[in-house]
Amino acid sequence: MNNKRNFSGSGPWMLSNYRALRGEFQFGQSEALEKLRQITRYKTRRKFENPPFMLGFIFKTVANSSLVRKLFLLGFRHDTVEKYGWASSIPASDVYIAVDYTRCGLTDWFRDMANPEISLIACEGDYIQFAGVKGLRFVRTRTLASGDGVCDMRFVKTTRRH
């Protein structure tokens, strides 16, 4: 996967907005983070409320198709050597889909830019993005941005209510 595509859409955009809120608008850190959180949530919701056809198809069918599940997992396979890349593994698990990230380009980049506090807001976007996955619930208990050794992404099958 091309890590530059991930950065151009989120990292510099979040950092520049945060720095503008702190500098130009003179918000304190907690207020600037909350404003950035609100703006980022809005932007992420807009991006994923009408996903491109293929992504929409995968989100609608991944819970009921082993073939689509394999396609979905391909999007999480990362092991790049480039600076600010991602590294992940697919661990054995009793949940429907499990992915462990051991390296996160955005977390590393925000730390190197002297603003690691932005990383957790970037992580929140995953919950918004994956809310559209039908029949699966996104769960994460640890993040690299929080200082954990792994970011554990899990997709648990949900049961239909009658």
pLDDT at position 27 is 98
Model confidence over 40-64: pLDDT tens digits? 999 989 888 887 778 788 888 888 8
pTM of the predicted structure, to 2 decimals: 0.84
Instruction: Domain ranges for the chain, please list them.
Output: 3-157
pLDDT at position 137 is 92
Task: Tell me the CATH architecture of domain 3-157.
Answer: 2-Layer Sandwich (3.30)
For 51, phi then psi, to 5°, come to: -70, 160
| Residue 29 · residue 36 · CB < 8 Å | no
pLDDT at position 162 is 47
Model confidence over 79-93: pLDDT tens digits? 777 788 889 999 988
- Pairing status of strand 136-140 against strand 151-157: antiparallel
